[in-house]
Amino acid sequence: MSESSSEPATESYSRPRWAPGASANGRGPRSQTGPDRVDAAPAESVGVSDLAGAPAAPLARLVRVSKSFGSTHALVDVSVELERGTIHAIAGENGAGKSTLIKVLMGVLQPDSGSIEVEGRLAKIGSPVTARALGFAAVYQEPLVYPHLGVLENMFVVGPERSRLGDLDRNAMRRRALAIFDQLEVDPALLGRKMGDLRLGHQQLVLIAKALVEEAKLIIFDEPTSILSGAEATKLFRIIDRLRAAGSAVVYISHRFEDLEAIADKITVLTDGRVAGAFHERPFDFDAVVRLMSGRETRAYDAAPAAHRKAPPGETVLEVEGLSCPPYCEDVSWQVARGEVLCFYGQVGAGRTEMAKAVFGDLRPTAGVVRMEGKELVVHSPRQAIRAGVGYLPEDRKAEGIFATQAISENIVASVLGRIVARIARYVRRSEVRTLTEGQRESLQIKMAAPAAPISSLSGGGQQKVILGRWMVERLEVLVLDEPTRGIDVTTKAQFHDIIRSLAADGLAVVVISSDLPEVFAVADRILVMRQGRIVVSFVNDGSARPEEVLRYAVSAGPEPGRAGGGDHQRARPGLVPPRPQEVSEQ
Amino acid sequence: MSNVPIALQGGPAPVPSRVGHVLGRIEYEGYLLAMIVVMGLVLTFTVGSSFWSSTNLSGLLLDVAIVTVPAIGMTLVIVTRGIDVSIGSLVGVVAVVAGLAFEHHLPFVLVLLIGIAVGVGGGLVNGAIIAWGKVPPIIVTLGTLSVFEAITYLLLGGVWISNIPAKLTQVVVIDRLGPVPYSFVVAVALVALFSYVMARRPIGLRIYAAGDNPEAARTAGLAMWRIDLFVYALLGGLTAIAALMTVGQSPLVMPTTGQNFELTVIAAAVVGGTNILGGEGKVVGGLLGAFLVEIVEDAAILYHVNSFYQQIVLGAMIVGGVSIGVARRRRRRTEGSLE
Amino acid sequence: MSTTQLPTSEQAPPGGATAGHRGAGALSRLLESRVVVQYGLLPVVLVGVLIAGEILAPGVLSPSNLSSMTRFGVEIGILGFAEMVVIIMGGGGIDLSVASTAAVTQVSLAVLLRGGIELWLGVAISLAIGLALGALNGFFILGLGVPALVATIGTYFGYAGLALVIANGVNIADFPSSYLTIGQGDVVGIPVEFIFIFIPVAIVLGYVTSRTKFGHEIRLTGTNERAALLSGINVRRLRFSGYVIAGMLAAIVGVVESSRFGTAQPVADSTYLLTAVTIAVLGGVDIFGGEGTILGVVLATAVVTIFEYAFSLAQINAVIELGSVGVMLIVVVLGQVGLKSLRSYAARRSSA
């Protein structure tokens, strides 16, 4: 539901409020001790003429923007105003729609419905080129750069300075770049380097400078601090402060509360693609933010968390000690027991996936020991890990999971082919393929037209079941599931949770990497929270752990001395110091 | 995943040795030049009199020129992550068209222009199918290779063209600036021109960008099709110049004219340091690569090495040049992440 | 790593096209059907070529013509198999050196035979040489990381030179007469090499690439290299063995070819490469990897053979015939790419 569509635009600053966009599907957020709540007004179409005349129209405004991918609603009726000289933070869990929001603003995706207004006029952002022409720029988490080109060239690929003869005027470009580097306090020496030789943090600074060179009026930062050191982050905040002072509109996408605390002027919380709430004035009530962020799919919490944990977990199967895989994870130690579901919770970029891949032999760790049933396990490839009894279901289903054009049955037997060949003739026994496929079809309730149909004919949930089936036909001791239910509908999600529990009940050690709190609480025996490549806390999921606490550890530095921002953070919000966790160490 | 910039791999990297550090300062072109000089010195001390004879030297320079000119275009094509194996048979087409034009007594300069136009046209065909058909360049140019060959044959009609005006030979081979044939001067001038284009003109920047990170370039709104058309058409035009030089060098046009020429040109480009994976490459590298390839060939002749070995050496230079490039970039990656 | 990943479009239609998009659903079903997916428009093309052949050279399909045609098709067909194996495995796989490999093996066989070695041993050694040359390709590509395209351009050159060196630049003609049966004899009018080499190779390779673990794995690897790696498939070893197989197949072609001509030629037949790649993609091998069957390649071999044979019967020059093959290659790949985008368009339409 829109924030302001039913009010004159001029009033939109006047009072703090948050718009419960969720009411569109009849399920509003629970009543909170948050900021004032305004009941959703019925939607009204906004005439362009009204807007054009409105004084001080915000730089950009999204009006009831929706975007779906198949059955997934990435954005639902999202309305946000982005004003000049304001740092507008968008907070939300992974999958809440933040990335989609950026892509809509940057012309990469077209909204299904709703409109975007720029400086009071309707704008159709059909392509990234249009977005740039409107003065929009985005600095992505993984900078999109030309690694073999120089820094200066990277900044001027589009619209370079030219001399009278049409040559590239490097001196003029350098002057412009240096002026901006100076303003951003970036080392001018970088200008002579190749982009690919720079650290990620520096690449990001160059891209910010590029946005300024292009005179962007709206700059979007997508999780910028996840690749930065503490000092670099502090510097970035100074830069963003200056952008605000210079009148830019800044969109700051993040899940880190110390970032928001440090720089945000406003916070909009996205939950399941909807605006769950908006905070327009400092100081922010971060307790409320946490509640809104974790409030997604609230029903999932209703399941009695400890109900299925009757039998005590068996002996330890896999033990990881001091695993480091820079720059992703550092000195990580954990263990998982037979029959146990161990969940890694954290935000994107916390290093969970890379940590798992290092255990699985897909990334090479620089330090650490992995033990399997007490014996040291050295793996250099996924193949060896699988042989040792470790399976890994990747996070990115399309890029690393499915063989899109291949048959469903092919997808299921991909890793066990060696086991089902005939003795002498070495052919893959079709009867075995059929048996294995039918077995998984039944036990995982995969709805398919025929086992020979390509996997791409299934829904996302169906595809994910097939890949899970691929691991079920293996003889595994440990199964790592990386975001097993991302982008999957609610019913299938619940099925997945049942499957995960029953796998553990059958004696498998299951490790689940998830950024979905309700999911973590639904399946976990134990919860480890990772943040910036380290395990920061551990909980036992016996009803004593609260979702808010878990989330808080994932999004902000804990009480122990953490990053540079940690101290300030406590001072600013004494109420937010996380309570003592039930179990801080592994033992 | 695969196009994540190299520096992402971050982390502590081995400290490069002192020697490695010093070597790292020298540009790759420096090594090439050094190798050419070493080859020259060895030849001077062993077969000096025949190497420095004016026939050998000008013959060598002419050969270098003929390879260098299309190597400029090939470098740009490879920078955009492409390849073109059809230029050998394009040489045939241009040679035949020029030969026929000479037979019809068209004005000399007009014939040259027609030849170049034919080359550009052939390149445009490649470029258009690659740009709009989204067909891999190797497939397209493998196909046009045989199409151009067929056209050559059709135009020739089973006979050889031998009455090429002496003026062409005069211009290409005999006219010299001191000991240097004009053809070589032309090649060097073209290298200078396109070095300037790639370094100083906006189109050069766009070509590098398109090859370095096509996704980023597309997002930035670069018209990729225009870049494809440009580089393949340019290569076609430059190939035509090489074809005219070839006809001047040996005034006879036959169905096999230009055969396997593409391989020498690709060898020159990759030996010259062009990154076969795109995004990197200098036009001057094409010149140095051509020089190295041709001086090795010349050495083989002077030492009376069986000409069969030349092919092996050329093949080894292609594979060796690329694997050195791969290794070099790998090393730079680990050093670069030190930062 | 993948925060900016879009939720993928997950709704897909097991007949689930909504009423408004029934047409798109039917189109999508047609495009997904086995025949179209695997063999492209091959059956149509085959019929077309037959008709065109009859018009171009009446009587092209007489028994005697068919017999010489099969002889002609054996070599290019087997080279088509070689390209199929390396292209299916994806990752820019291609082998441009096959013709040169065939040249090396035939001249080394001739030299060995001239040296008085037993026929079977000579053949075995030349097959081993093909295997070694294929392994060298594999080493350059997977060991040194040189892209297949460039590595095999280099070895195309290098092996061609090697063949010239071995043969000292001349054709070698003194084969024992027993050897010539391979490429010149026939059994009830059917060429020996077709019955005893092409058919067995096609059957073995068809079996290996469709039924065995290797066959399943090359397809999976070509479809999604990362997923294959994470499923425990040894991608590097697999691709390496692909180049070894290609080398061996090229060696077989070298043996057959020298027997057919009665001479070993050190100069590689430059038309082989283009024809082999054309046959592979015409046979439904996806140029980007993951798809392809021996049956399709055999059909494509028939198409190209009839095509070329009709040309030669009509006394059209070989160069022009080759030019037409080149056009065919481009058109077929354009069609492949077009079909793919049409397919994904239909899928989008019916799932929207």
Question: pLDDT digits over C147-185, tens only?
Answer: 998 899 899 989 999 999 999 888 998 788 888 888 888
Q: Which of C104, C230, C222, C219 is nearest to C172 (CA)?
A: C104
pLDDT of residue C41: 66
Closest partner residue to B133 (CB to CB) among C144, C327, C337 is C337
Of B74 and C312, the one with more pLDDT: B74
Query: Measured between beta carbons, which residues in chain B are less than 8 angstroms from residue A108?
Result: 219
Contacts of B247 (CB under 8 A, 6+ apart): B95, B98, B99, B164, B168, B172, B253, B257
pLDDT of residue A73: 78
In this structure, are A432 and A577 located in the same domain? no
Cα of B183 to nearest chain A Cα, Å: 28
pLDDT of residue C163: 94
pLDDT of residue A568: 33
In this structure, are A488 and A571 located in the same domain? yes
Bridge-partner residues for A369, per DSSP?
Answer: A321
Strand pairing report for A266-271 and A249-253: unpaired
Closest partner residue to B6 (CB to CB) among A147, A167, A202 is A147
pLDDT of residue B171: 85
List the structure tokens of A378. 């050295």
Inspect the interface and report whether the beta carbons of A142 and B215 lie closer than 8 Å.
no
In this structure, are A512 and A460 located in the same domain? no
List the structure tokens of A428. 């893959």
Query: Measured between beta carbons, which residues in chain B are less than 8 angstroms from residue C164?
Result: 308, 311
Among A439-448, A575-584, C270-279, where is mean pLDDT lowest?
A575-584
Cα of A149 to nearest chain B Cα, Å: 7
Amino acid letter, B197: V
In this structure, are A428 and A334 located in the same domain? no
Phi, psi of A41 (to 5 degrees): -90, 150
A87 falls in which pLDDT band (50, 70, 90)? very high
pLDDT of residue C17: 36
Range A16-20, long-range pairs (CB < 8 A, 24+ positions):
A16/A279, A16/A280, A16/A281, A17/A278, A17/A280, A18/A275, A18/A277, A18/A278, A18/A279, A18/A280, A19/A79, A19/A275, A19/A277, A19/A278, A20/A275, A20/A276, A20/A277
Return the residue in A67, A200, A381 with the most chain C beta carbons within 10 A, the one to mutate for interface testing. A381
Q: Which domain holds residue A469?
A: 404-474
CATH assignment of the domain containing A357: 3.40.50.300
Q: Does A321 touch chain B (CB under 8 A)?
A: no
Range B128-133, long-range pairs (CB < 8 A, 24+ positions):
B128/B229, B129/C330, B129/C334, B130/B82, B130/B228, B130/B232, B131/B224, B131/B225, B131/B228, B131/B229, B132/B225, B133/C330, B133/C333, B133/C334, B133/C337
List the structure tokens of B133. 């058909």
Tens of pLDDT, residue by residue over A122-173, are 888 888 888 888 889 888 877 788 999 999 999 998 888 888 888 889 999 9
pLDDT of residue B309: 85
In this structure, are A577 and A430 located in the same domain? no
Inspect the interface and report whether the beta carbons of C6 and A449 lie closer than 8 Å.
no
pLDDT of residue C22: 47
Rounded mean pLDDT, C118-135 = 95
Specify whether the backbone of C95 is left (phi greater than 0), alpha (psi in -120 to 50) or beta: beta
In a domain, A487, yes or no: yes
pLDDT of residue C204: 95
Alpha-carbon dihedral of residues A517, A518, A521, A527, nearest 10 degrees? -10
Give the separation between CA A94 and CA A109, rounded to whole angstroms. Answer: 19
**Per-residue three-class SS string for A291-323:** HHHHCCCHHHHHCCCCCCCCCCCCCEEEEEEEE
Strand pairing report for A367-372 and A375-376: antiparallel
Cα of B5 to nearest chain A Cα, Å: 6
CB pairs under 8 A between A and C: 153
Give the separation between CA A526 and CA C347, rounded to whole angstroms. Answer: 42
Q: Which of C42, C78, C23 is nearest to C245 (CA)?
A: C78
In this structure, are A453 and A342 located in the same domain? no
In this structure, are A507 and A578 located in the same domain? yes
Inspect the interface and report whether the beta carbons of B209 and A157 lie closer than 8 Å.
yes
Question: Per-residue pLDDT for A302 more than 70?
Answer: no
Amino acid letter, C103: A
For helices C318-351 and C271-282, give the axis angle rounded to 10 degrees: 30
In a domain, A434, yes or no: yes
C294 falls in which pLDDT band (50, 70, 90)? very high
Mean of per-residue pLDDT scores for chain A: 79
Rounded mean pLDDT, A5-15 = 35
**Per-residue three-class SS string for C141-191:** HHHCCCCHHHHHHHHHHHHHHHHHHHHCCCCECCCCHHHHHHHHCEECCEE
Q: Does B208 touch chain A (CB under 8 A)?
A: yes
Place of tokens 């090859």: B211
Cα of C196 to nearest chain A Cα, Å: 21
pLDDT of residue B337: 41
In this structure, are A379 and A503 located in the same domain? yes
Rounded mean pLDDT, A278-291 = 82
Among A410-414, A524-528, B324-328, where is mean pLDDT lowest?
B324-328
Cα of B39 to nearest chain A Cα, Å: 31
Element (H or E) spanning A562, and its range? Answer: none
Phi, psi of C54 (to 5 degrees): -65, -40
Bridge-partner residues for A310, per DSSP?
Answer: none
A259 falls in which pLDDT band (50, 70, 90)? confident
Q: What are the CA-CA distances from residue C214 to residues A64, A316, C140 (Å)?
A: 53, 36, 22
Give the separation between CA A465 and CA A147, rounded to whole angstroms. Answer: 38
Give the separation between CA B117 and CA B109, rounded to whole angstroms. Answer: 12
Asked if residues A556 and A254 have their Cβ atoms less than 8 Å apart, the reply is no
Tell me the domains of chain C and their CATH numbers: 44-344 (1.10.3470)
**Topology of domain B32-43+53-336, CATH:** ABC transporter involved in vitamin B12 uptake, BtuC (1.10.3470)
Low-confidence ranges of chain B (pLDDT < 50): 1-24, 335-339
Of C37 and A38, the one with more pLDDT: C37
pLDDT of residue A368: 92
In a domain, A564, yes or no: yes
Contacts of C128 (CB under 8 A, 6+ apart): none
List the structure tokens of A579. 């309570």
pLDDT of residue C349: 58
Asked if residues A394 and C230 have their Cβ atoms less than 8 Å apart, the reply is yes
In this structure, are A485 and A585 located in the same domain? yes
Domain boundary among A453, A474, A495: A474
User: What does the DSSP 8-state code read for residue B304?
Assistant: T
Cα of C293 to nearest chain A Cα, Å: 14
In this structure, are A372 and A482 located in the same domain? yes
ipTM: 0.81
Q: Does A202 touch chain B (CB under 8 A)?
A: yes
Inspect the interface and report whether the beta carbons of A326 and B12 lie closer than 8 Å.
yes
List the structure tokens of C12. 């897909």
List the structure tokens of B65. 């020129």
Q: Which of B114, B123, B129 is nearest to B77 (CA)?
A: B123
pLDDT of residue B246: 93
**Per-residue three-class SS string for A144-178:** CCCCCCEHHHHHCCCCCCECCCCCECHHHHHHHHH
Q: Does A538 touch chain C (CB under 8 A)?
A: no
Return the residue in C11, C231, C344 with the most chain A beta carbons within 10 A, the one to mutate for interface testing. C231
Closest partner residue to B318 (CB to CB) among C153, C273, C330 is C153
Closest partner residue to C320 (CB to CB) among B134, B150, B276 is B150
In this structure, are A464 and A529 located in the same domain? no
In a domain, A381, yes or no: yes
Give the separation between CA A500 and CA A190, rounded to whole angstroms. Answer: 50
Question: Per-residue pLDDT for A513 more than 70?
Answer: yes
Inspect the interface and report whether the beta carbons of C11 and A71 lie closer than 8 Å.
yes
Gyration radius of chain C over CA positions: 22
Query: Measured between beta carbons, which residues in chain C are less than 8 angstroms from residue B327?
Result: 144
Structural domain count, chain A? 2
Closest partner residue to C277 (CB to CB) among B142, B147, B153 is B142
Tens of pLDDT, residue by residue over C190-229, are 888 898 999 999 999 999 999 999 999 999 999 999 999 9
- Domain locations along chain B: 32-43+53-336
Domain boundary among A455, A474, A493: A474
Domain boundary among A474, A494, A525: A474
In this structure, are A457 and A525 located in the same domain? no
Q: Give the sign of the dihedral formed by CA A420, CA A422, CA A423, CA A424.
A: negative
Rounded mean pLDDT, A52-58 = 59
Inspect the interface and report whether the beta carbons of B129 and C334 lie closer than 8 Å.
yes
Query: Measured between beta carbons, which residues in chain B are less than 8 angstroms from residue A142?
Result: 4, 8
Give the separation between CA B242 and CA B63, rounded to whole angstroms. Answer: 10
Among A9-18, A296-305, A503-512, B151-160, where is mean pLDDT lowest?
A9-18
Return the residue in B196, B205, B206, B337 with the most chain A beta carbons within 10 A, the one to mutate for interface testing. B205
Cα of A8 to nearest chain C Cα, Å: 35
